[in-house]
Amino acid sequence: MPRCLCLLLLGACVGEAGVAPDARPDVGDKPEVVLATSLGEIVVRLEPVEMPVTTANFLAYVDAGWFDGTLVHRAVEDWVIQGGGYTTGLAPKTAMAPIALETSDQVPHVHGAISMARTSEPDSATSQWFIVVWPHDGDGPQRQLDGDYAAFGHVIEGLDVVEAIGAVAVSTQAELADVPVTEIVVTSARRAP
């Protein structure tokens, strides 16, 4: 089964909904969000000019504290890590209304890109996000997601944390594949100061 179809199917089962630079140059109005996880912090820089609807949706969840206590419920080495839909014990959360699919050639699905998960319906993304894991030279297979999924930012700090999460032991639980055997919790998600 193609990897992109697996991501689609995972979203359907749920029913809910670049290479990072080392330096932090002045980015103007590009908000940054710190995802504090039980394995370390991940900082993502969002692209509100290129992806205004998707960025606003993600920030609405962040500002509401909605991601606090959610799980990274999917980890596939050299593919993606995914979170934003479940709490401890794989208890699903009820998300806000879905948003329309938004894409931009300026925000591709490269290593460290953060994007929105969805069902097979393009306009079905709600709260679930995924981060691309492809720490190899060149474009990875995730680039096939460009134009079909809403990448809306990139990891600027904590790529080592993303890669570590992508490499954890996983199993199938509650009909979900690639679930980390030891729960990985997003303890908080906040805008960076």
Confidence category of residue 28, pLDDT binned at 50, 70, 90:
low
CA separation, residue 164 to residues 4, 15, 64, 191 (Å)? 22, 27, 28, 23
Kindly give, in sequence order, each residue whose CB lies less than 8 Å from that of residue 73, ignoring residues fewer than 6 positions away: 82, 83, 85, 86, 90, 176, 179, 180
Helices (H), 15-143: 52-63
CATH numbers and ranges of domains, the chain: 3-18+32-191 (2.40.100.10)
CA nearest to 128, candidates 48, 61, 36: 61
The span from the CA of 43 to the CA of 175, in Å, is 30
Q: What is the pLDDT of residues 148-189, one digit of tens each?
A: 999 999 999 999 999 999 999 999 998 999 999 999 999 999
Averaged confidence pLDDT in the chain: 87
The span from the CA of 145 to the CA of 142, in Å, is 6
